[in-house]
Amino acid sequence: MKKLIRFGVSLDHHLLDDFDLHIKKRKYTNRSEALRDLIRDNLVGQEWNDNKETVGTITFVYDHHVRDLTRKLTHIQHDFQGHIMAGMHVHLDHDHCLEVLVVKGKGTEIKKVADALLSVKGVKHGKLTMTTTGKGLV
C-alpha cells in the first residue's frame, strides 16, 4: 500500500467556499479527492507541455457537401496514420458529419494533426482534448 501523507492548506474563506461548491457539484465525497483530481489534472497538463507520450481526441464537425473536403480530411489522416489510433464517423443530418479521432504520440505531434485537420475549409468546429496515458499517475 502506498504511504498516505496528511498536510494542511491555508485558504481564503471565499476560495474555500467556492471549492466546496465545486466539490458538491462534482459529487466528490470529500475535499481530499477533489484536491487529488486537481493535482492530477495539473500533472497531465505538464505531460502535454513536457512533450511526453500523450493521448487524446480530435473532435470536429464538417459540411460533407464542401467540394473535395472529405478527400482532404482522409488524406491528412493518412499522412498522420502513426498517430491516429481509431476513428468514429457520425452522420448528424443531411449536411453535417461528426468525426472523433483517438490520437497518441508526443504533444507537439498530436497538435500538428489537430491543426492540420481543424484548419481545413469546411470544418465548422473542432477541438483537441488531451489527457494522459496514465503512466506515473497515482
- Residues in contact with 18: Cβ distance below 8 Å, sequence separation at least 6, in sequence order: none
Average pLDDT over residues 61-81: 94
- Say yes or no to pLDDT of 40 above 90: no
Average pLDDT over residues 35-59: 81
**Distance between CA 117 and CA 73 in Å, rounded?**
6
List, for residues 72-94, the tens digit of each pLDDT value: 999 999 999 899 999 999 999 99
User: Would you say 126 and 117 are in contact if contact means Cβ atoms under 8 Å apart?
Assistant: yes
What pLDDT, on the 0 to 100 scale, is given for residue 131?
85
What pLDDT, on the 0 to 100 scale, is given for residue 18?
92
**Distance between CA 19 and CA 35 in Å, rounded?**
9
What pLDDT, on the 0 to 100 scale, is given for residue 50?
61
Unique residue bearing C-alpha cell 473542432: 126
User: Would you say 113 and 54 are in contact if contact means Cβ atoms under 8 Å apart?
Assistant: no
- Say yes or no to pLDDT of 134 above 80: no
C-alpha distances in Å from residue 45, one per residue of 23, 52, 109, 133? 21, 10, 15, 12
121-130 in b/e form (b: 16+ CB < 10 A) is eebeebebeb
User: Would you say 84 and 101 are in contact if contact means Cβ atoms under 8 Å apart?
Assistant: yes
Which residues pair with residue 89 across a beta bridge? Answer: 99
The pTM score is 0.75
What's the mean pLDDT when you consider all of the chain? 89
